[in-house]
């Protein structure tokens, strides 16, 4: 299949150019004038072409909770949101902690073939934090990174060994930073608001204590580590300092941490769709996250797409599971609250949602639009807005705090390895 994308503004993290883009089979064949006849022409005048987005942190609930999300619905949601590559977390039932599980997942993902689904293996067997998984086998099966996401690794000596083995096998450890003794059974940030309502809170130190320990181990072992879903000002101060000192630490945040605070949770009357782990912080945290994105202390925006069934999200706030869906909203939330708000420019956004994740995970020929790269591309119209309506979401679960919100920027086409995998209704190219 040959596709000609005509007259778009082509955005990379370091440049924006206007021109034509020619896709032959699964690769970008040419940028500029082309004489070859295409099979399909997409007129993209006035639109922007960006590298396909890459999500380092998605929960696809497969195997085990396919009622909440499966590989098909997750892929459709990802494609609609502009993601062409997603990494799925191993907190499934059973956990993705061995070669057999990972092989199975990749095989199933291959059958769907909408976007690229890549596995995050578990650091410990059953994600129990007791015994390391077989890192060599997980690498051989196709894992590029490992995480016990949802659970922190409490045993520092186990994390030390995990980092050592990960270094040996060139795997990235993605760390869920939380001191479980401090967060205990808290369900929101410890704050005047939690006290006012007599609810058990999670102190901000629960995250940064773990961030500090993990960074110290990475420093000690001279190896890399990636910190998942950073949500506090203090964590960012620690990460920034460590980066300045040369520690090989990278980190991500998620859109809800630069758009919402605990005040919004109160205003929602403690709607479980605002419950997430780590919990929503205060205004200072939100400002620090925005600043961290602007300064480059935060490397990536990941979704932490965490689907939960309606039944479970209708439980009382304290009993409901934490997590929000994000695949279909992340781009527009980031565009609206960061680019439109003039905190970042479009190139910065491409860096955070595509170029940096590709680099951190060593994905070849992804995250940058150039001749010879995979034709993983999205075409977006930044002059249009849309309303978040639950029945319009492709994800099986609708647990987002943004229901009813109007967001700017629409993904009109998603192309993965040269195949159009999503077209917004009414667009025929």
Q: How far is the CB of 68 from ligand DOR (least distance, A)?
A: 9
Q: How far is the CB of 209 from ligand DOR (least distance, A)?
A: 17
- Let me know: does 30 contact 22? Beta carbons within 8 Å: yes
Residues of this chain that interact with Zn ion (CB under 5 A) are: 149, 176, 228
Tokens read off for 217: 């181990």
Helix (H) or strand (E) holding 107, with range, is helix 99-112
Q: Report the residue from 69, 70, 97, 149 that binds ligand DOR according to the rule CB under 6 A.
A: 149
Q: How far is the CB of 256 from ligand DOR (least distance, A)?
A: 9
Q: Which positions ≥6 away from 136 have C-beta within 8 Å?
A: 169
Give the count of residues interacting with ligand DOR (CB under 6 A).
Answer: 11
Of 325, 360, 243, nearest to 78 (Cα)? 325
Q: Which is nearer to Zn ion, 132 or 228 (CB)?
A: 228
List, in sequence order, every residue forming a beta bridge with 50; answer none if it has no partner: 378
Q: Report the residue from 65, 80, 176, 396 that binds ligand DOR according to the rule CB under 6 A.
A: 176
Q: State yes or no: residue 150 binds ligand DOR (CB under 6 A).
A: yes
The active-site residue, picked from 304, 348, 376, 381, is 304
Tokens read off for 32: 């500029």
Q: Which is nearer to ligand DOR, 118 or 415 (CB)?
A: 118
Q: Which positions ≥6 away from 367 have C-beta within 8 Å?
A: 51, 54, 354, 355, 356, 357, 358, 359
Q: Which listed range, 192-200, 288-296, 321-329, 375-383, lies at the site for ligand DOR (CB under 6 A)? A: 321-329
- Alpha-carbon gap, residue 413 to 429, rounded angstroms: 9
Per-residue contact flags (x/-) with ligand DOR for residues 114 to 143, judged by CB under 6 A: ------------------------------
- Alpha-carbon gap, residue 233 to 225, rounded angstroms: 19
Q: At how many degrees (to 10) do helices 156-168 and 205-221 cross?
A: 50
CB-neighbour burial class of residue 170 (10 A; exposed 0-12, middle 13-18, buried 19+): exposed
- Let me know: does 142 contact 120? Beta carbons within 8 Å: no
Of 105, 130, 131, 127, nearest to 118 (Cα)? 105
Q: How far is the CB of 157 from ligand DOR (least distance, A)?
A: 23
Per-residue contact flags (x/-) with ligand DOR for residues 90 to 119, judged by CB under 6 A: -x----------------------------
- The conformation of residue 142, written as its DSSP 8-state character, comes to T
Q: Report the residue from 13, 28, 53, 59 that binds ligand DOR according to the rule CB under 6 A.
A: 59
- The conformation of residue 148, written as its DSSP 8-state character, comes to -
Q: Which is nearer to Zn ion, 141 or 228 (CB)?
A: 228
User: 376 is in the binding site of which of ligand DOR, Zn ion, none (Cβ under 5 to 8 A by kind)?
Assistant: none
Q: Distances from the Cα of 121 to the Cαs of 82, 87, 147, 209, in angstroms?
A: 24, 10, 6, 25
Q: Which listed range, 295-303, 320-328, 329-337, 361-369, lies at the site for ligand DOR (CB under 6 A)? A: 320-328
Q: Which is nearer to Zn ion, 97 or 149 (CB)?
A: 149
Q: Which listed range, 76-84, 113-121, 216-224, 319-327, lies at the site for ligand DOR (CB under 6 A)? A: 319-327
Q: Report the residue from 238, 276, 286, 320 that binds ligand DOR according to the rule CB under 6 A.
A: 276
Q: Which residue has the tokens 């997590």?
A: 323
- Alpha-carbon gap, residue 130 to 184, rounded angstroms: 19
Q: 312 in helix, strand or coil?
A: helix
User: 322 is in the binding site of which of ligand DOR, Zn ion, none (Cβ under 5 to 8 A by kind)?
Assistant: ligand DOR
User: 423 is in the binding site of which of Zn ion, ligand DOR, none (Cβ under 5 to 8 A by kind)?
Assistant: none
Q: Which listed range, 7-15, 119-127, 318-326, 410-418, lies at the site for ligand DOR (CB under 6 A)? A: 318-326
Catalytic site includes residue 304: yes
Bridge pairing between strands 2-12 and 15-24: antiparallel
Q: How far is the CB of 428 from ligand DOR (least distance, A)?
A: 37
Catalytic positions, written as ranges: 304
Residue numbers at the binding site for ligand DOR (CB under 6 A): 59, 91, 149-150, 176, 276-277, 306, 321-323
């Amino acid at each position: 299949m040959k596709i000609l994308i005509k007259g778009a503004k082509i955005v990379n993290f370091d440049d924006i150019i206007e021109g034509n883009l020619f896709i032959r089979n699964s690769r970008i064949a040419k940028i500029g004038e082309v004489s070859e006849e295409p099979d399909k022409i997409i007129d993209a005048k006035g639109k922007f072409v960006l590298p396909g987005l890459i999500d380092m942190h998605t929960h696809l609930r497969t195997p085990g909770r396919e009622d909440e999300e499966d590989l098909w619905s997750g892929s459709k949601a990802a494609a609609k949101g502009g993601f062409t590559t997603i990494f799925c977390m191993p907190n499934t039932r059973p956990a993705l902690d061995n070669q057999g599980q990972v092989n199975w997942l990749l095989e199933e993902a291959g059958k769907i073939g909408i976007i690229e689904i890549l596995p995050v293996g578990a650091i410990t067997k059953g994600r129990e934090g007791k015994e390391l998984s077989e890192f060599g086998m997980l690498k051989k099966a196709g894992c590029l990174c490992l995480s016990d996401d949802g659970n922190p690794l409490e045993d520092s000596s186990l994390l030390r060994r995990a980092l050592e083995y990960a270094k040996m096998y060139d795997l990235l450890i993605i760390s869920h930073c939380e001191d479980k003794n401090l967060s205990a059974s808290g369900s929101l940030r410890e704050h005047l608001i939690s006290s006012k309502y007599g609810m058990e809170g999670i102190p901000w130190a629960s995250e940064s204590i773990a961030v500090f320990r993990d960074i110290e181990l990475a420093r000690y072992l001279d190896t890399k580590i990636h910190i998942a879903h950073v949500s506090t000002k203090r964590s960012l101060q620690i990460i920034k300092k460590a980066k300045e000192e040369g520690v090989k630490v990278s980190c991500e945040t998620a859109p809800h941490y630069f758009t919402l605070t605990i005040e919004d949770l109160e205003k929602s009357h403690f709607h479980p769709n605002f419950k997430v782990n780590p919990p929503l912080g205060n205004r200072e945290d939100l400002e620090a996250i925005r600043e961290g994105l602007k300064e480059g202390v935060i490397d990536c925006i990941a979704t932490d797409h965490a689907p939960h069934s309606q039944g479970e999200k209708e439980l009382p706030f304290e009993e409901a599971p934490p997590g929000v869906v994000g695949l279909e909203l992340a781009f527009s939330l980031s565009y609206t609250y960061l680019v439109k708000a003039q905190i970042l420019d479009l190139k910065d956004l491409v860096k955070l949602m595509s170029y940096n994740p590709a680099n951190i995970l060593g994905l070849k020929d992804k995250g940058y639009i150039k001749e010879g790269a995979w034709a993983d591309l999205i075409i977006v119209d930044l002059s249009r807005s849309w309303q978040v309506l639950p029945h319009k979401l492709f994800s099986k679960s609708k647990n987002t705090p943004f229901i009813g919100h109007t967001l700017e920027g629409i993904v009109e086409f998603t192309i993965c390895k040269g195949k159009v995998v999503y077209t917004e209704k009414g667009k025929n190219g």
